[in-house]
């Protein structure tokens, strides 16, 4: 692209370059800087300013071209130039380029320093390259560079992102051995690493040790510890930590409260979840989609459909947009209480407010129809999912088959076959529901075949399923088979016969294999 930037500083000309090919980019860098060559040679700080601005603008490739131009035209290249260029790579997510620049420094007789190394570690951390970040940290002494607090913080953060909580904690305590003081960033990153891997005891231990390290816990540290308790279902501890924040002169924020609400949701404490939502309003913390979705999910867990709907309806009034999670949780609440009409109304409302239902939403609606005995509606929803490009899963099909259980064997069994065609593995519930449908339809031969198919799929049948097969055979007048099955079940129950495949007069070999 032609340059029409001659009246601007070289710094701004470079930043305003558009996205072009690498060669064109290099040519344009040379075109911009050639007129500034004498100034660059007499004032190396000008190059530092240019490279620093490119770093702020996240233009690592341009920074690399500037360094190449300087070296090709015998302009002094120093550690500050490399530091700014590697920082551009870090901000631009170019860890390969950052590492390449760091390695090239000795080639131009520029020694690596803690700033360039830290920028390279940080680039690795942002790219999720925790192994590389640790390798750089360990290699710093070989470059005669002493790691500092920033080096360790970046490495600990990389371990946090990589799910390596043990390494994060080890690095935190390694700082003490190297006479480096950990700060709030170090501890928070280590606590967060533990939180993400469900190590709530370690997270709490680190939080309690912060005062011993002469560190005052901050909101970010407490939030990570509360989240760790939430993931482990320790709702009581989550609430204690939330309460303790005031004694630490900390004010709970939206993240703290959301984590505590989620902890209550997982612990089945819907009343506490709703109370925390009210607390947020009382302290002027604006609840968001996460706050409401977690509260509605808490009500869903305990079947509090009226409260769930009240919360869902309150969201638009408070300028909080309901999302798929909040709607799906509300639909599931109605499903658990057999309120299939309300569940379908909510599913329709989602399209009205332009929140496209997802697989979870549809599954909840199909389950609601199943519990309400509305097998036709369940099948309609299953069919509609294909029209809106939402793929049904095992849960969808199992609920639809279960909806057809009361005598609709002609529909239930083809649905079971459809699962295989869609490369979905029928589960125990799918088979059991289809077998019970066969029982009600007096389809004893089909019931026996499905029982055998369960065995072939390595799915153990329970006594309810076997009873349905026996019931189908009984209704079909197959008393010999009924007696044979009853005798086999008795022998298995008494431990006189191992689960096995047996032959019954007039039938294909079938499975006698009880669920434990």
Mean pLDDT of all residues in 432-439: 91
Identify the band that residue 420 occupies on the pLDDT scale cut at 50, 70 and 90.
confident
Confirm whether 288 is domain-assigned: no
502's enclosing H/E stretch is strand 500-502
- pLDDT for 114 equals 95
- pLDDT for 513 equals 46
- How would you class 380 by CB atoms within 10 Å of its CB: exposed for 0-12, middle for 13-18, buried for 19 or more? middle
- pLDDT for 153 equals 94
pLDDT above 80: residue 448: yes
Mean pLDDT of all residues in 50-56: 86
- pLDDT for 408 equals 87
pLDDT, tens digit (0-9, with 9 covering 90-100), for 153-173: 999 999 999 999 999 999 998
pLDDT, tens digit (0-9, with 9 covering 90-100), for 24-52: 666 677 777 777 787 888 888 888 888 88
* CA atoms of 409 and 402, how far apart (whole Å): 10
Number of domains composing the chain: 1
Q: Are 373 and 336 spatial neighbours (Cβ–Cβ below 8 Å)? A: no
- pLDDT for 516 equals 40
CB atoms within 10 A of CB 4: 9
pLDDT above 90: residue 22: no
CB atoms within 10 A of CB 164: 19
pLDDT above 70: residue 193: yes
- pLDDT for 296 equals 94
The model scores a pTM over 0.85: no
- pLDDT for 23 equals 60
Confirm whether 14 is domain-assigned: yes
- pLDDT for 4 equals 37
pLDDT, tens digit (0-9, with 9 covering 90-100), for 259-289: 999 999 999 899 999 999 999 988 889 999 9
Confirm whether 138 is domain-assigned: yes
pLDDT above 80: residue 321: yes
pLDDT, tens digit (0-9, with 9 covering 90-100), for 110-154: 999 999 999 999 999 999 999 999 999 999 999 999 999 999 999
Beta bridge partners of 500: 512
* End-to-end C-alpha distance for the chain, whole angstroms: 72
Mean pLDDT of the chain: 86
Mean pLDDT of all residues in 345-352: 92
Confirm whether 25 is domain-assigned: yes
pLDDT, tens digit (0-9, with 9 covering 90-100), for 89-114: 999 889 999 999 999 999 889 999 99
- Which residues, other chains included, contact 448 with Cβ-Cβ below 8 Å and sequence gap of 6+? 469, 472, 473, 481, 507, 508, 510
- pLDDT for 246 equals 86
- pLDDT for 282 equals 86
- pLDDT for 495 equals 60
- pLDDT for 45 equals 87
429's enclosing H/E stretch is helix 428-440
Pick from 145, 84, 152, 158: nearest CA to 119: 84
- pLDDT for 10 equals 53
pLDDT above 90: residue 357: yes
List the structure tokens of 287.
């609840």
pLDDT above 80: residue 68: yes
Q: Distances from the Cα of 13 to the Cαs of 2, 69, 397, in angstroms? A: 12, 15, 60
29's enclosing H/E stretch is helix 22-34
Domain span holding position 28: 1-147
pLDDT above 50: residue 3: no
pLDDT, tens digit (0-9, with 9 covering 90-100), for 500-510: 554 554 555 45
- pLDDT for 110 equals 92
């Amino acid at each position: 692209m032609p340059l029409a930037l001659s009246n601007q500083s070289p710094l701004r000309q470079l930043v305003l370059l558009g996205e072009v090919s690498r060669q064109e980019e290099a040519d344009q860098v040379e075109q911009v800087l050639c007129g500034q060559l004498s100034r660059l040679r007499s004032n190396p700080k000008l190059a530092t300013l240019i490279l620093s601005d490119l770093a702020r603008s996240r233009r690592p490739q341009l920074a690399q071209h500037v360094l190449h131009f300087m070296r090709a035209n015998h302009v002094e290249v120093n550690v500050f130039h490399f530091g700014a260029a590697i920082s551009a790579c870090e901000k631009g997510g170019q860890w390969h380029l950052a590492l390449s620049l760091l390695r090239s420094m000795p080639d131009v007789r520029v020694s690596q320093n803690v700033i360039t190394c830290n920028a390279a570690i940080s680039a690795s951390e942002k790219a999720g390259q925790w192994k590389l970040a640790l390798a750089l940290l360990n290699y710093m002494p070989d470059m005669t560079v002493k790691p500092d607090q920033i080096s360790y913080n970046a490495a600990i953060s990389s371990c946090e992102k990589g799910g390596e909580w043990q390494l994060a904690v080890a690095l935190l305590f390694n700082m003490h051995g190297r006479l480096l003081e950990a700060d709030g960033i170090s501890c928070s990153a280590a606590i967060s690493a533990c939180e993400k891997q469900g190590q709530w005891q370690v997270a709490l231990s680190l939080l309690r040790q912060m005062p011993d390290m002469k560190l005052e816990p901050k909101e970010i540290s407490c939030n990570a510890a509360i989240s760790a308790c939430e993931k482990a279902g320790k709702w009581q501890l989550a609430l204690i930590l939330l309460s303790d924040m005031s004694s630490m002169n900390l004010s709970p924020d939206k993240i703290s409260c959301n984590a505590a609400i989620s902890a209550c949701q997982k612990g089945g404490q819907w009343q506490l979840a709703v109370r925390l939502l009210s607390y947020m309003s009382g302290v002027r913390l604006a609840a968001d989609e996460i706050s409401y979705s977690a509260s509605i999910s808490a009500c869903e867990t305990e079947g509090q459909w009226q409260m769930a709907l009240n919360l869902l309806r309150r969201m638009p009034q408070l300028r909080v947009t309901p999302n798929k999670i909040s709607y799906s949780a509300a639909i599931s609440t109605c499903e658990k209480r057999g309120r299939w009409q309300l569940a379908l109304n909510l599913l329709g409302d989602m399209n009205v407010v332009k929140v496209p239902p997802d697989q979870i939403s549809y599954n909840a609606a199909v389950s609601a129809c199943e519990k309400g005995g509305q097998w036709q509606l369940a099948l309609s929803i299953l069919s509609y999912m294909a029209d809106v490009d939402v793929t049904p899963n095992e849960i969808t099909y199992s609920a639809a088959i279960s909806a057809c259980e009361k005598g609709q064997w002609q529909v239930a069994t083809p649905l079971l076959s459809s699962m295989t065609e869609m490369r979905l593995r029928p589960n125990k519930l799918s088979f059991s529901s289809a077998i019970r449908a066969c029982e009600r339809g007096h389809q004893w031969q089909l019931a026996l075949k499905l029982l055998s198919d369960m065995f072939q799929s390595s799915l153990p049948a329970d006594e309810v399923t076997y009873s349905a097969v026996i019931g189908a055979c009984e209704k079909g007048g197959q008393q010999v088979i009924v007696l044979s099955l009853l005798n086999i079940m008795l022998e298995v129950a008494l431990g006189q016969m191992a689960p096995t495949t047996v032959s019954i007069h007039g039938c294909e070999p079938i499975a006698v294999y009880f669920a434990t």
